[in-house]
Structure 1
Amino acid sequence: MLRLRIASLAAAFGVLSAGAQAESAPLPDKLTYKDTFNLEYPAAPFFLPDGDKLVYERRSMDIMSDSTHSSLWQIDIKSKQHRPLLAGDDSVRNAVLSKDGSMLAYISNASGSAQLYVRYMDSGQTARLTNVSYAPGNLTWSNDGQHLAFTMFTPVKPDSLFTGMPKKPDGAKWAEPAKYIEKTRYRADGAGYLPDGYSQIYVLPVTGGTPRQLTTAEYPHGGSLTFSKKDDWIYFTADKQDGYALRPLGSDIYRVSTTTAKVEQVTDMKGPESSPLISPDGRWLAFSQLDDRKLSYQTGDIVVMNLNNGNTTRLTGSLDRGIGRFVWNDDSDELIFSYLDEGNNRLARVDLDGDIDKLDVTIGGQSMGRPYTSGSFAVSSKGDIAFTTAETMRPADLALYSRRGNTTTLTDLNSDALDHLKLAKVETLPVTSSVDDRKIDAWMALPPDFDASKSYPMILEIHGGPHAAYGPHFSMEVQLMAAQGYVVVWSNPRGSSSYGEDFGNLIHHNYPSEDYNDLMDVVDAAVAKGFVDSKNLFITGGSGGGVLTAWSIGKTDRFAAAVVAKPVINWVSFALTADAYPYFSQYWMEAMPWEVADKLWDRSPLSLVGNVTTPTLLLTGEADYRTPISESEQFYQALRLQGVESAMVRIPGAPHGIAGKPSRLIQKVGNIVAWFERYRHDGESEE
């Protein structure tokens, strides 16, 4: 990142030295697409044992590799000294500190592939501990600091059907051999077609050597690991039941002996258990648990088990909100956790009796594309909490919330990139649903140099999920749209997460439905402000937002143009082509898709394509296996048959998360704005 900015300054000085002509060219005072590469944000903070120093991942955009680069930086809480810890050319991730703080384990690609390294904190010496073919994950220290446990994909011999293929003559050029698939989960978005094998648990001495495989069973292991107090067991999540691939929410907590590799089941509750975490004193096992009722939106709880007698206590049952990450305090008498609430990600404490203390802390700032909820935090031995901040006009910084309730900002990562630019101001937009008078949270970004006496074009940006949540958070996509002179509006219609199960399940087996009405109420509220041009309304959204965009233009012609990103167009075809088809067919549908095809068709945007007159752009990644590009192709071809002005943008190699690379974020926003500019009525609004 530093090199990029030095290069940018050098380039700027080079232009100035070309002559007086350059002196008259003003520097941009609003965001440009290239500014995407200048952003940074913190992630994965953790304290050193004394609680006076904080380490975090500093993530920046690498313009040369078109990727997110991660380095480790350290902050002295008292002196505010901020310096690099591991900040070379190679990206560092999954860093974890030993219990005594003497060693730091992490994953790096310094050798050309993802390997496990350890750094000695007193001397700064580093050593590579592994030479493995697949990337280690979920690094976990033993309590005595002598071993590291991790998970790693371990291949098995692939299945085959036909074994009588004749031998190929030397020098012959034959077609690639056939790929034989005989498993339910055979491809995944972002990973493509999956190799044969399973994630297994390994343990490795910190002095190096050969990782020892502890688990061998042919069932999936997932998520975090945690050592027992005496380091004789490792607790993990797995689903060992037959037919696990058709049980998308089936998992229990198990433990494996670090000496004999014996596996024992620990929990057996209705619904999935996951994220095991042993308390520092070794007496309690905390984990998340979901009472699975086959609803499309369900919120789980934190449960603790007394390891002496096996009794369990549900701690957060009174909180009707989605629970995120949780950690123990050093005294083992309470947990600090995050939870979603009305478009924000907040923190709270809960003791072993289930008494919840909500903290005045909102975390976020890590969703660089769209204004989704996000955020991470850490708790020190002193009870202080470090967290990533949630702000409207810049990505996250790190802040400290002391046990006394004071908040101090520790970093300033983006002033150099943003302070000299005019950004869009974000305001709350009050909305009441015309369906049932419910409050619908909404926000709007006002373009730089906004003047309420003028008339502006407006973009309605719809979130995906559909069980997800936007909030009043920084979004590069929103800011780039606003920089082009648009008022940008986003909201949480019924079905959104962070408002409890009842609100989320208003669209259970009924999606899309009145969430469309909520969105139109949001548009009406924006137009009523008086500075939005009703002839220059535009609509877009991705995934679930793509569904609602396509549905909306089948219901109304009020929008001048639409961009439908990575949508579901036909629920029947989606259910039988999406990577997570066992989940979608059981939780989002009343029965198998061929049994309720008429009901699914009634909720499919394709059923309304005959009504569409709005000029429409389809935008999807070609490697999207979550909402496959065949969905976009269906809608595109139907629109062309209808004679509707339409086009399709295909992002090569991009999975469902199109904006995973900085250049793809730029391509996404740039194409959306360019399509809207084509249909913007210049005589009706001022730029």
Structure 2
Amino acid sequence: MKPATTKSRFTLDDLCKTRSVYDPKVAPDGKNVVFGVFQRDGAANTNRDTITLFNLDSKSIKSIAEGGSHDWSPDGREVAFENTDGMLAVYDMEMENIRTLCKIEHSAHFINHWVDKGLSWSPDGRHIAFVSSESAPGETDSPKAFREVNRILYKTKGGSNRPYYNDNRLSHIYIVPRTGGTPECLTPSPFNEHSITWSPDGQKIAFISNRTSDPDNNQHHALWTVDIKTKSTRQLTQNNESVFTPQWSPDGRHIAFLATVGAKNNNDSMAENTQLYLLPAHGGQLLCLTGEMDRNILNFRWHPNSGSLYFTIEDEGTSKLYRVSISNKGKTPIIPATESKIDGFSTMAQGDDIIYVKSSQNNPTELYLYQATTGESEQLTRFNRFLAEKRLLQSSKTFWFNSFDGTKIQAWLTKPVHFKSNTTYPLILVIHGGPHNMFGYEFDEKLQVLAAAGFGVLQINPRGSDGYGQEFKNGNLNDWGGGDYEDLMAGLNLALKNNKWIDREKLGVTGQSYGGYLTNWIITKTKVFKAAVSDGGISNLISFSGTSVIHSLLESEFGEYAPLNYDALWKCSPLRNASAVQTPTLFLHGETDNEVPLSQSEEMYMALKKMGVATSLIMYCGEGHGWRPDLRPKNRQNVYERMIEWFHIHFQGKSPSTP
């Protein structure tokens, strides 16, 4: 007889117990790994990032400080990082103490989501380079009588601990001696610089900067170098590319970077896949190393021999690690990561063994060691062991289907906790954001929360999603709410046909950001859903184009500046068809969201309210867009509580206890 399980369902309190591992970096001697650990603190209603050490010999784990960006000194004796007070600090491995060097100032100016403002040791270990801005002007006690605006990007991203408006401070590259002293600015310019990497000889730093005449109005980020002694700068790539995260080769001959080469890009979710490029360190012809793979490249690292690079691709809900030769572009799969996702990695000293971060549907991110001689991986950390031992976590079953025009679409279906085959259950269609993101095999807390609350969950990667090639990713350009809507409904209909346990009278839909947009769109097109939750969604593409800090998104998606394209934008705006809505809809939105401004939910909410549709708008004070990690823990819990309650009320006419 099978023993009864002692596991219980995933609860909202577990959100503050779950930890996320990120950004591993192996020490030069290969004995330790430094990485970040993210955890929510429910009692303090804040979030914590902890700089953590893992010793590969003793398997011991040690937290050294709370803070952000981190990097090893070349001799492996110290770790530099930014502490929670915004100070550049150094941890001494032998003395086990911390000294602070100087203040790091962060501008509120939003450039794009790929900007790296991390720090880096000089190859000789004598200096630390970092990105900082000038000090913010002091605030007066007198309230502002007015605010003058004379630039396009006058807003910031907004949200927790971030200003609402651009402070107009520029980010530059500084260096400071490891022993302390006055930082020296290497790039005193009227532009922003970021994403730094030292040349192996320590004479130059490569960086990214948009030095066009109107940087607010384009995404032409070029690769530059600055001479440490003379401070002279040189541009290495053209302005028609958008370049990200450069890394100098260990032998100093090349600089590798991610880039897009399309004429239209934006500062948010790009349709064009990023590819891995190579450039001679003195400048010259770009060489694309990955284009024929037809996938989005995320992370990359040089092999210590400078003859190859490791990189990850997004592919059909997974992310996989490959190695590419720079001589012939030959590619070798290293870690296939079937039904899982690799989120970051670092090579050991010899370059063949790899420390990496992986997650799967039942396991949040943990640290792993891949050994080349055996081809096997060993899990190093178990921060989230309690989930495997104490919680009932649901896995999703993937399926493929042909959409209305024959396009192959991938989806995942998850059964609720305590599923019984002779019972029917509500189903929630969850839609991803982006629009060019993807669902897959990573740990998804929203999925687990909904499954624990007794809902089945359907996730679909409609056209426009990442992971299926450039043509597929382009599938919703100039056609928001067109083919992608049809894909979602085709997947839903197939799930209903093949799964009798789904209660057709209790269907819900929710999505965040672009998922919120499609939620708003869906309720104008069909009455099949009994309840909807729109989370930070767009409703009016015309007003969005003039109020969002990611204004360039619509220009890259629809091909023209909004005032020249109002007809196309209005055609794809859910607000245009709001009179057709009958679905009870809850709107959730960060009050200081500048990526998708609060007014987007306000417009749709007001339209439904005027027509007598059951609706409510919850504004989260001081919160920004996307419920990203900086969302306060209590607000994150409240988002899920309200979502679950809304679905239960409109499915059953009552509100059960929240998990």
Q: TM-score, normalised by structure 1?
A: 0.87
Q: Given the alignment of the two structures, is residue 50 of structure 1 paired with residue 29 of structure 2, yes or no?
A: yes
Q: Displacement of 1:197 after TM fit?
A: 1.8
Aligned partner of 2:113 in structure 1 is none
Aligned partner of 1:31 in structure 2 is 10
Q: Given the alignment of the two structures, is residue 287 of structure 1 paired with residue 262 of structure 2, yes or no?
A: no
Paired residue secondary structure (2:587) = strand
Q: Given the alignment of the two structures, is residue 346 of structure 1 paired with residue 329 of structure 2, yes or no?
A: no
Q: Given the alignment of the two structures, is residue 232 of structure 1 paired with residue 203 of structure 2, yes or no?
A: yes
- Counterpart code for 1:84: K
Q: Displacement of 1:437 after TM fit?
A: 2.2
Query: Is this contact kept in 1: 2:74–2:125, CA < 8 A?
Result: yes
> 209, 213, 224: which is aligned to 2:185?
213
Aligned partner of 1:579 in structure 2 is 549
> 437, 440, 449: which is aligned to 1:471?
440
Aligned partner of 1:102 in structure 2 is 77
> Take 2:586 and 2:283, find their aligned partners in 1: how far apart are those partners?
60
> Take 2:26 and 2:298, find their aligned partners in 1: how far apart are those partners?
20
Aligned partner of 1:626 in structure 2 is 595
Q: Displacement of 1:311 after TM fit?
A: 4.2
Query: Is this contact kept in 1: 2:404–2:490, CA < 8 A?
Result: no
> 295, 300, 308: which is aligned to 2:274?
300
Q: Displacement of 1:418 after TM fit?
A: 4.9
Provide, for residues 45-78 of structure 1, a one-character-per-residue CA deviation record: whole Å limited to 9, x for no partner.
1112232432322222222332332223333334
Q: Displacement of 1:677 after TM fit?
A: 0.8
> 631, 639, 643: which is aligned to 1:672?
643
Query: Is this contact kept in 2: 1:390–1:396, CA < 8 A?
Result: yes
Q: Displacement of 1:308 after TM fit?
A: 5.6
> Take 1:133 and 1:253, find their aligned partners in 2: how far apart are those partners?
23
> 59, 67, 70: which is aligned to 2:38?
59
More displaced 10-residue stretch of structure 1: 412-421 or 673-682 = 412-421
Paired residue secondary structure (1:520) = helix
> Take 1:617 and 1:76, find their aligned partners in 2: how far apart are those partners?
48
> 537, 561, 574: which is aligned to 1:567?
537
> Take 1:267 and 1:33, find their aligned partners in 2: how far apart are those partners?
48
- Counterpart code for 1:259: K
> Take 1:131 and 1:455, find their aligned partners in 2: how far apart are those partners?
58
> 344, 347, 353: which is aligned to 1:384?
353
> Take 1:523 and 1:260, find their aligned partners in 2: how far apart are those partners?
62
Q: Displacement of 1:42 after TM fit?
A: 1.3
Paired residue secondary structure (1:527) = helix
Paired residue secondary structure (2:206) = strand
> Take 1:155 and 1:61, find their aligned partners in 2: how far apart are those partners?
29
- Counterpart code for 2:260: L
Paired residue secondary structure (1:390) = strand
Q: Displacement of 1:132 after TM fit?
A: 5.1
- Counterpart code for 2:471: D
- Counterpart code for 1:127: R
Provide, for residues 342-396 of structure 1, a one-character-per-residue CA deviation record: whole Å limited to 9, x for no partner.
122221111112111122343998xxxxxxx771111111321111122111211
> Take 1:587 and 1:255, find their aligned partners in 2: how far apart are those partners?
29
> Take 2:546 and 2:282, find their aligned partners in 1: how far apart are those partners?
46
> 83, 86, 91: which is aligned to 2:61?
83
Change (3 A) 1:634 1:47: same
> Take 2:53 and 2:503, find their aligned partners in 1: how far apart are those partners?
49
Provide, for residues 182-241 of structure 1, a one-character-per-residue CA deviation record: whole Å limited to 9, x for no partner.
12211121342011220011010101001011111111223x211112211111011111
Of the two, which has the highest radius of gyration?
A: 1
Paired residue secondary structure (1:395) = strand
Gap regions ≥5 residues in structure 1: 1-25, 159-167, 366-372
- Counterpart code for 1:146: R
> Take 2:371 and 2:505, find their aligned partners in 1: how far apart are those partners?
51
Query: Is this contact kept in 2: 1:477–1:665, CA < 8 A?
Result: no
Q: Given the alignment of the two structures, is residue 122 of structure 1 paired with residue 94 of structure 2, yes or no?
A: yes
Q: Given the alignment of the two structures, is residue 402 of structure 1 paired with residue 402 of structure 2, yes or no?
A: no
- Counterpart code for 1:147: H
More displaced 10-residue stretch of structure 1: 312-321 or 269-278 = 269-278
Aligned partner of 1:460 in structure 2 is 429
Paired residue secondary structure (1:509) = coil
Change (3 A) 1:212 1:349: same
Change (3 A) 1:389 1:73: same
Q: Displacement of 1:28 after TM fit?
A: 8.5
TM-align CA RMSD: 2.5
- Counterpart code for 1:140: S
> 48, 52, 55: which is aligned to 1:73?
52
Change (3 A) 1:293 1:182: closer
Aligned partner of 1:164 in structure 2 is none
Aligned partner of 1:541 in structure 2 is 511
Q: Displacement of 1:682 after TM fit?
A: 7.4
Q: Given the alignment of the two structures, is residue 494 of structure 1 paired with residue 463 of structure 2, yes or no?
A: yes
> Take 1:585 and 1:218, find their aligned partners in 2: how far apart are those partners?
28
Gap regions ≥5 residues in structure 2: 108-115
> Take 1:417 and 1:195, find their aligned partners in 2: how far apart are those partners?
43
Q: Displacement of 1:459 after TM fit?
A: 0.5
Change (3 A) 1:416 1:646: same
Aligned partner of 2:122 in structure 1 is 142
Q: Given the alignment of the two structures, is residue 609 of structure 1 paired with residue 578 of structure 2, yes or no?
A: yes
> Take 2:253 and 2:143, find their aligned partners in 1: how far apart are those partners?
59
Query: Is this contact kept in 2: 1:86–1:92, CA < 8 A?
Result: no
Q: Displacement of 1:674 after TM fit?
A: 0.6
> Take 2:619 and 2:282, find their aligned partners in 1: how far apart are those partners?
57
Query: Is this contact kept in 2: 1:431–1:521, CA < 8 A?
Result: no
Q: Given the alignment of the two structures, is residue 649 of structure 1 paired with residue 628 of structure 2, yes or no?
A: no
Aligned partner of 1:551 in structure 2 is 521
Q: Displacement of 1:485 after TM fit?
A: 0.6
Q: Given the alignment of the two structures, is residue 635 of structure 1 paired with residue 597 of structure 2, yes or no?
A: no
> Take 1:565 and 1:431, find their aligned partners in 2: how far apart are those partners?
27
- Counterpart code for 2:205: I
Query: Is this contact kept in 2: 1:225–1:276, CA < 8 A?
Result: yes
More displaced 10-residue stretch of structure 1: 601-610 or 133-142 = 133-142
Change (3 A) 1:514 1:134: closer
Aligned partner of 2:112 in structure 1 is none
Change (3 A) 1:538 1:225: same
Change (3 A) 1:199 1:363: farther
More displaced 10-residue stretch of structure 1: 318-327 or 416-425 = 416-425
> Take 2:206 and 2:60, find their aligned partners in 1: how far apart are those partners?
36
> Take 2:649 and 2:376, find their aligned partners in 1: how far apart are those partners?
50
Q: Given the alignment of the two structures, is residue 41 of structure 1 paired with residue 20 of structure 2, yes or no?
A: yes
- Counterpart code for 2:396: V
Aligned partner of 1:323 in structure 2 is 297
> Take 1:157 and 1:119, find their aligned partners in 2: how far apart are those partners?
31
Aligned partner of 1:434 in structure 2 is 403
Change (3 A) 1:270 1:597: closer
> Take 2:104 and 2:496, find their aligned partners in 1: how far apart are those partners?
58
Provide, for residues 20-40 of structure 1, a one-character-per-residue CA deviation record: whole Å limited to 9, x for no partner.
xxxxxx998222211211111
Aligned partner of 1:189 in structure 2 is 157
> 415, 418, 436: which is aligned to 1:449?
418
Query: Is this contact kept in 2: 1:443–1:472, CA < 8 A?
Result: no
Aligned partner of 1:256 in structure 2 is 226
> Take 1:32 and 1:275, find their aligned partners in 2: how far apart are those partners?
38
> 120, 131, 148: which is aligned to 1:180?
148
Q: TM-score, normalised by structure 2?
A: 0.91
